[in-house]
Structure 1
Amino acid sequence: MTPPRFDGYAALLTGAGQGIGAATARRLASEGAAVLVTDLDADRAARTAAAIREAGGTAESLACDVGSREAVEATVAHAVTAFGRLDVLVNNAYANHDDAALFEDEDDDSWAHTLDITLSGPYRCSRAALPHLVDSGRGAIVNIGSVNGEQDFGGHAYSAAKSGLASLTRTLAGHAGPRGVRVNLVAPGTIRTEAWAGRDEALKRASGLYPLGRIGEPEDIASAVAFLASADAAWITGTTLRVDGGLLGVNTGFRKAMRDSA
């Protein structure tokens, strides 16, 4: 029997207490990885790790603020101590804030916080993890980006941060590749997560803009992350993988408008 794809792997995930991060932690653990579930909310991380253990997987949890270099370095050290190695880093933690009605009314502190967590957070985590990923001989970093990093869907700071993260993915891939570490990014479209709680009608309307006729689920992104983190993607680095139901490739709204006007 073929061993699980991540048998003997150790993975660290940020922002993994719920949503995409939690689904990805469950997926990696289900395929054999020992996972360190981290989140700003310690209780949320603990619940996710407990559910993984109840399902037969190996998981620990830890509170981590990716805005703090000290916290990030302590978290990476914890993973290596707990599991004896580190093979996979998934940078999923992010921050966001609503745009002001007028751009000139945007707030410096909100802008800075969104960029710090969403872009500088992965920078801090990757910097701390990289030596251990090199040592593993099969290290992989998977960043969670967004379609917002490629096209206008609103969110000035969030979109700028996700675009910057795609750029960091490429430059870090160039640096880390000769050291045996791959770096890639998954760019999700609209995903049914807690961020959309209470907005079912908005999600229903959004579904009609997707060529595949639905919004995404966290498990859709987890599957893509698992692929990019695994040996199945051994010759892939520096790439952005859109997991967006065709949103960026097909202008469904325009096509519908043309049909309705015919």
Structure 2
Amino acid sequence: MTDTRRFDGHGVLVTGAARGIGAATARRLAEEGARVYATDVDGAAAERTAAALRERGLEVRAAECDVADRASVEAAVAGAADAFGSLDVLVNNAARCAPDTPAFEDDSDEEWALDLDITLTGAHRCCRAALPHLAASGRGAIVNIGSVNALQDYGNHAYSAAKAGLASLTRTLAGHAAARGVRVNLVVPGTVRTSAWRGREAALDRVRGLYPLGRVGEPEDIAAAVAFLASRDAAWITGTALTVDGGLTAVNTGFRAAVQESGA
């Protein structure tokens, strides 16, 4: 547990908070004094996460929220604002990532639409509902969770396109929200060890060798970046993307290894 308390008195809403990056973010912000509304489409799982954090003396409530449904989003935002008296931070973490089909032309409209609706439009719904509350707080901040898939080809066409759109939304919303005193930033994770990799540990171990820092990320690595961008330590930062990827997009490890092996 961190000794830093940058979020005393802050009301925070985190989407996709039942597990992985969302759960780690809820924990990190609560450890720093925030009152956290942990939401997820799986409301029971969100409650289990919140209950475990409450057992540690942290102020975390849970609610079901389907970011694909406007009414559900608006109810969650209103619930957080009512519970805490203000909403100061929104973390858009909910996402969907469908596997690619073997041939691009076999991609379905339905899978494409679902990835974009949850990953990109879902964040838009949350921002739209939360922005008046964030502006009223006087210290509002939005942190969107992006992906290195928006920067380079790592597969997953629809998810990658949605994350690229989220990066653009971050910039355009930052320009609009600045006059209202709200900062909007993006965290760009590389490979993170979450339940999405369960059963594929061998692949995760192979991926590790591509990272200059010698490991894949942990949810806590991303949560720490979110906490920074949401805090007053980042008071003069908006519209930016903070890449947290162990050096993956900065260094082509495979190319370097191939050159060194060839003696070139």
TM-score normalised by the shorter chain: which range applies? Answer: over 0.9
- Give unpaired runs (5+ residues) of structure 2: none
TM-score, normalised via structure 2 length:
0.98
Q: Distance in 2 between matches of 1:178 and 1:210?
A: 39
The Cα offsets for residues 128-157 of structure 1, whole Å up to 9 and x where unpaired, read as: 000000000000000000000111000100
Aligned to 1:26: 27
Aligned to 1:4: 5
How many residues matched?
Answer: 261
Aligned to 1:40: 41
Q: CA deviation at 1:27?
A: 0.1
Runs in 1 of length 4+ with deviation above 2 angstroms? Answer: none
**TM-aligned CA distance change 1:3 to 1:220, over 3 Å:** closer
Q: CA deviation at 1:3?
A: 7.4
Q: CA deviation at 1:52?
A: 1.3
Aligned to 1:91: 92
Aligned to 1:160: 161
Q: CA deviation at 1:238?
A: 0.2
The Cα offsets for residues 210-234 of structure 1, whole Å up to 9 and x where unpaired, read as: 0000000000000000000000000
The Cα offsets for residues 132-191 of structure 1, whole Å up to 9 and x where unpaired, read as: 000000000000000001110001000000000000000000000111000000000000
Q: Which amino acid aligns with 2:134?
A: L
Q: Distance in 1 between matches of 2:4 and 2:245?
A: 30
Secondary structure of 1:219 counterpart = helix
Q: Which amino acid aligns with 1:249?
A: A
Q: Which amino acid aligns with 1:39?
A: D
Counterpart check, 1:171 vs 2:182: no
Counterpart check, 1:241 vs 2:242: yes
Counterpart check, 1:252 vs 2:238: no
Aligned to 1:136: 137
Q: Distance in 2 between matches of 1:100 and 1:46?
A: 34
Note the 1:52-67 alignment, pairs <5 A: 52-67=53-68
Aligned to 2:70: 69
Aligned to 2:114: 113
Aligned to 1:210: 211
Aligned to 1:192: 193
Aligned to 1:181: 182
RMSD: 0.9
Q: Which amino acid aligns with 2:207?
A: A
Secondary structure of 1:142 counterpart = strand
Secondary structure of 1:12 counterpart = strand
Q: Distance in 1 between matches of 2:261 and 2:57?
A: 52
TM-score, normalised via structure 1 length:
0.99
Q: Distance in 2 between matches of 1:176 and 1:212?
A: 36
Q: Distance in 2 between matches of 1:238 and 1:52?
A: 31
Q: CA deviation at 1:86?
A: 0.2
Q: CA deviation at 1:103?
A: 0.8
Secondary structure of 2:118 counterpart = helix
Aligned to 1:231: 232
